Amino acid sequence: MEETLMKVVKFGGSSLANAAQVSKVVNIIKADDQRRFVVVSAPGKRFSGDIKVTDLLIQYANAVINKQDATPITDQIIARYQEIAEAFAIPAGDFEEIRSTILGLPQHDYQDNDYLMATFKAHGERLNAVLFAKVLTAQGLKAKYLDPREAGLIVTDSPNDAEVIPESYDRISEWSASSLIRVIPGFFGYNLQGQICTFSRGGSDITGAIIARGVHADRYENFTDVNAIYAANPAVVHNPIAIHHMTFREMRELSYAGFSVFHDEALIPAIQGDVEVVVKNTNHPSERGTSITSTKRVNPAYPVSGIASSPNFCGIYIRKYMLDKKGYSQKILNILAEHGLSYEHMPSGIDDLTVIMRQDQLTDDLEDTLIRELVIALRPDEIHITHDYSLLMVVGEGMVNRTGLMSKATDALARQNVKLVMVNQGASEISMMFGIQEDHANIAVQALYDAFFPDL
Amino acid sequence: MEETLMKVVKFGGSSLANAAQVSKVVNIIKADDQRRFVVVSAPGKRFSGDIKVTDLLIQYANAVINKQDATPITDQIIARYQEIAEAFAIPAGDFEEIRSTILGLPQHDYQDNDYLMATFKAHGERLNAVLFAKVLTAQGLKAKYLDPREAGLIVTDSPNDAEVIPESYDRISEWSASSLIRVIPGFFGYNLQGQICTFSRGGSDITGAIIARGVHADRYENFTDVNAIYAANPAVVHNPIAIHHMTFREMRELSYAGFSVFHDEALIPAIQGDVEVVVKNTNHPSERGTSITSTKRVNPAYPVSGIASSPNFCGIYIRKYMLDKKGYSQKILNILAEHGLSYEHMPSGIDDLTVIMRQDQLTDDLEDTLIRELVIALRPDEIHITHDYSLLMVVGEGMVNRTGLMSKATDALARQNVKLVMVNQGASEISMMFGIQEDHANIAVQALYDAFFPDL
């Protein structure tokens, strides 16, 4: 007999996109009474080309801000919830609460449009949680909506990019003995003034992790639409192997480089609370999924867990004889800071260095300004910006012999004539990072996959 | 018939260590009347265990500062010059100028002991130039001593670590039409107040390069005691191949990593004036030597010019989940700056970075302080210092396919079980840099040499 565990489960937007999906979720919750806390996203896309409820709410907010007629939008939003409510025979009187909340959103007092936007967006999750609690009750389960305010989820005063305040965890822990299933909306909390502030987009994963840490859950199940996390992007590599266990650090590095299965900010509460995260598929709940813990795999078949690439980086190359690195770096960082720019890496040679940044931060004008200011401040012998890098990552806790793996990786890349724009590798023994041209990225991922995941 | 070139020649300390060596230098100058400017070092070691005149002068200065009897030291210094003077039959009256200058050094007014030290040290070169001009004259050549003050070599006001002031070049250029051979002491110039200030140790190379740029020389011949610059340190690799041509950039990168044949600060005037530098051997002047220019080799037999390693680096490894690289780097640089520390490289992973520094800057106490301050400022999840790195460099302008070379290098290192502590590679296409454990350095250099310089 399995021991009793406390589980927090989170369902993504595609898992709750329509009544058919919601009934799968109901079955998942019914199947395991250890699933005590249910965190829900807003209804997502039902089909390719569909609009997510969150995006409809953003349209709604903009219409209100611009004093336009929002009726066509609110009709769509209401219809999304109504379809689910009707399928589960939620009484019309109960549904009226959802309809009137949607229509009433413009009537609240908002400090400014940022707060208005945050509140509108948050209602995708909020109303889905209200509705889903009713659905579970209608299905005979003892379930109740729990608002983040009541739960004690307090966040920083940043309306659309908030972070949890650590005091929240003690408050949330008081709910751990709850005998009911608690349905909690993802994506938002309240600041100390009681205003709604959302996390960054996709932040329902974060709410789930915060609740899991707060109630001291044994496991945080994150239900989405993939059977597992794969060793490479299935859109690039044909039929990549599933990784059934990885460490938090591996997940974090892969998230950075484009593995978007699990929001990387959501890892932090899980790490802090040492809560096992399991990624599972709502559509195939019996699949094993991917377990993410602090424990390394023992004798893994492959030393590497995943190969990822992330596009849209650029590099500012600066060369000057007798470069004084410290003085140089400080001047560069100051100039970047003045423009609110952040950088990712700064590999350096003897008389040169390259500042690797996300290029979506830059416009043509800003690039010109930046180059001009750097020339004035540094008087370099050479300076230029190269666009369209991808960062290519090879991640794995099993990299005890990194020299051999580096050799294997560079050999595989050389065979495919992938040009290395940069290699940047500190003392971390968990990953290798290469800068390559973006149009080489898919070839490179395939080459590394073939090298590190040979048929056994 | 060869066209007439203007050449500046510089002779190092071992080339002028005694009369036998000096007569080789005389023959070199006699052999080519294009050698118009002769820059000399102080007499160096005549045999292993001998004391260089510069070091005797430092002892002399310290004796004077500490009010000790300096006679045993001045006797040795005088004897070094006297041996040369007598061998070339310099009249005793002429030599008396050198003797009295040495004995009179303590009688000058010095602003402080730093200036005293600079002046004492500079006289190793100064008196050698005075003497050598007399030697050349005695040998029937039209030669004259040229003092850096008269030449116009003005330097910054930093008594023992000066830099040339760019205005010097115009003044020096006025000497280019001189019909006499001008013998100029290396290693020092005068500040605007007329005080002697020296370059950093080994700085006669710098004087030669400044004169060469100033007089618009076609070639700067740097005579020392090796037949050429080799592709690897002959003390590590048996009988390495000689590199007969390299670029300024290659030389600069190899200098950084420990190739000490030519002072790396001396490259700058040569680069600025685009003066060819030729490293030649006083003892075998017919050997081809190594030519250093701004022009790349065409179709080189080997894509790589040299393999070098430099010891005594350490790395501060810092890991924190969701590292904000920009904020982090600024805090780190500020803390380093407060302690007057400089860093060499800062390779970074996703959630970690390593600060590579020269470890001779640090004491145990300073390390403790640094770690404590970094912990307070950054609250890292992990921080530690690793000592005794070597930086291993593979340098070559021919690195068009760097991926293939990286693969070859890491494969060679992996076969010898050399652990890679870091790899740091920006957009420069001229070198690859690896951090390795110091005790792997010789094995690594040999492995890379074998990989990149196979018998053809």
User: Do A342 and B330 count as a contact with CB atoms less than 8 A apart?
Assistant: no
The continuous run of DSSP H or E covering B152 comes out as: none
User: Do B342 and A333 count as a contact with CB atoms less than 8 A apart?
Assistant: no
In percent, the amount of chain B with pLDDT more than 90 equals: 80
CATH 3.30.2130.10 domain extents, chain B: 306-452
A contact residues 187-216, partner B, Cβ 8 Å cutoff: none
**Burial category of B176 from C-beta neighbours within 10 Å (exposed 0-12, middle 13-18, buried 19 and up):** middle
CA distance A41 to A9: 11
Query: Is B336 touching A (CB cutoff 8 A)?
Result: yes
DSSP letters of A277-301? EEEEETT-TTS--EEEESSPPSS-S
Here the tokens at position A204 are 């329902």
Residue A1 has pLDDT above 60, yes or no: no
Give per-residue pLDDT as tens, B207-265: 999 999 999 999 999 999 899 999 999 999 999 999 999 999 899 888 888 787 788 88
- The annotation status of B230 as a binding-site residue, yes or no, is yes
Among candidates A333, A410, A422 on the partner chain, residue whose Cβ is nearest the Cβ of B329: A333
Residue B2, pLDDT score: 56
Helix (H, G, I), strand (E, B) or coil at A98: helix
- DSSP class of residue B127 equals H
Query: Is A316 touching B (CB cutoff 8 A)?
Result: no
A314-328, A351-365, B422-436 — most confident range: A351-365
Binding site membership of A for ATP: which residues? 10-13, 224-225, 230
How far, in Å, are A265, A370, A388, A447, B301 from residue A235 at the CA level?
24, 36, 20, 15, 43
CA distance B316 to B253: 23
Calculate Rg over the CA atoms of chain A.
24
Give this complex's ipTM. 0.81
**Burial category of A318 from C-beta neighbours within 10 Å (exposed 0-12, middle 13-18, buried 19 and up):** buried
Residue B101, pLDDT score: 97
SS3 content of chain B, % helix, strand, coil (to 5): 40, 20, 35
A-chain residues within 8 Å CB-CB of B337?
Answer: 326, 330
Selection from B44, B212, B67 nearest residue B124 by Cα: B44
The per-residue pLDDT string of chain B (456 residues; one tens digit each, 9 = 90 and over) reads: 456 889 999 999 999 999 999 999 999 999 999 999 999 999 999 999 999 999 999 999 999 999 999 999 999 999 999 999 999 999 999 999 999 999 999 999 999 999 999 999 999 999 999 999 999 999 999 999 999 999 999 999 999 999 999 999 999 999 998 889 999 999 999 999 999 999 998 899 999 999 999 999 999 999 998 999 999 999 999 999 999 999 998 998 888 887 877 888 899 999 999 999 999 999 999 999 999 999 988 778 888 999 999 999 999 999 988 777 677 888 898 899 899 998 888 888 888 889 999 999 999 999 999 999 999 999 999 999 999 999 999 999 877 667 888 999 999 999 999 988 888 777 777 888 999 999 999 999 999 999 999 987
CATH 3.40.1160.10 domain extents, chain B: 7-225
Here the tokens at position A109 are 């007092």
User: Do A252 and B426 count as a contact with CB atoms less than 8 A apart?
Assistant: no
Here the tokens at position B284 are 């075998």
- Contact status, residue A372 vs residue A288, Cβ threshold 8 Å: no
**Burial category of B177 from C-beta neighbours within 10 Å (exposed 0-12, middle 13-18, buried 19 and up):** exposed
Query: Is B426 touching A (CB cutoff 8 A)?
Result: yes
B-chain residues within 8 Å CB-CB of A420?
Answer: 402-403, 406, 425
User: Do A354 and B426 count as a contact with CB atoms less than 8 A apart?
Assistant: yes
User: Do B424 and A348 count as a contact with CB atoms less than 8 A apart?
Assistant: yes
Nearest-Cα residue of chain A relative to residue B329: A333
Query: Is B319 touching A (CB cutoff 8 A)?
Result: yes
**Burial category of A450 from C-beta neighbours within 10 Å (exposed 0-12, middle 13-18, buried 19 and up):** middle
Average pLDDT estimate for A81-89: 96
Nearest-Cα residue of chain B relative to residue A429: B421
Specify the CATH class of A7-225 in words: alpha beta
Average pLDDT, chain A: 93
Query: Is B256 touching A (CB cutoff 8 A)?
Result: yes
Q: Taking the mean position of all CA atoms in its chain, how far away is CA A257?
A: 12
A-chain residues within 8 Å CB-CB of B410?
Answer: 403, 406-407, 410
Name the band, by pLDDT with cuts 50, 70 and 90, for residue A400.
low
Query: Is B353 touching A (CB cutoff 8 A)?
Result: yes
Among candidates B345, B410, B431 on the partner chain, residue whose Cβ is nearest the Cβ of A406: B410
Residue A19 has pLDDT above 70, yes or no: yes
User: Do A344 and B325 count as a contact with CB atoms less than 8 A apart?
Assistant: yes
Give per-residue pLDDT as tens, A226-240: 999 999 999 999 999
- Contact status, residue B291 vs residue B219, Cβ threshold 8 Å: no
- Contact status, residue A15 vs residue A84, Cβ threshold 8 Å: no
User: Do A253 and B351 count as a contact with CB atoms less than 8 A apart?
Assistant: yes
B-chain residues within 8 Å CB-CB of A422?
Answer: 425-427
A contact residues 118-177, partner B, Cβ 8 Å cutoff: none
- The annotation status of B13 as a binding-site residue, yes or no, is yes
Packing angle of the helix pair B325-338, B364-378 (nearest 10 deg): 150
Among candidates B324, B346, B423 on the partner chain, residue whose Cβ is nearest the Cβ of A346: B346
Nearest-Cα residue of chain A relative to residue B323: A344
Among candidates A337, A341, A426 on the partner chain, residue whose Cβ is nearest the Cβ of B353: A426
Interface test with A, best of B344, B348, B394 (most A CBs within 10 A): B348
The continuous run of DSSP H or E covering B71 comes out as: helix B71-87
- The annotation status of B12 as a binding-site residue, yes or no, is yes
Query: Is B293 touching A (CB cutoff 8 A)?
Result: no
Q: Taking the mean position of all CA atoms in its chain, how far away is CA B81?
A: 25
CA distance B228 to B248: 15
Among candidates B342, B352, B424 on the partner chain, residue whose Cβ is nearest the Cβ of A347: B424
B-chain residues within 8 Å CB-CB of A380?
Answer: none
- DSSP class of residue B33 equals T
Residue B144, pLDDT score: 97
Among candidates A252, A341, A401 on the partner chain, residue whose Cβ is nearest the Cβ of B351: A252
User: Do A348 and B345 count as a contact with CB atoms less than 8 A apart?
Assistant: yes
User: Do A325 and B343 count as a contact with CB atoms less than 8 A apart?
Assistant: yes
- The answer for residues whose C-beta is within 8 angstroms of residue A62's C-beta and 6 or more apart is none
Between A and B, how many residue pairs show a Cβ–Cβ distance under 8 A?
Answer: 192
User: Do B325 and A343 count as a contact with CB atoms less than 8 A apart?
Assistant: yes
Specify the CATH class of A306-452 in words: alpha beta
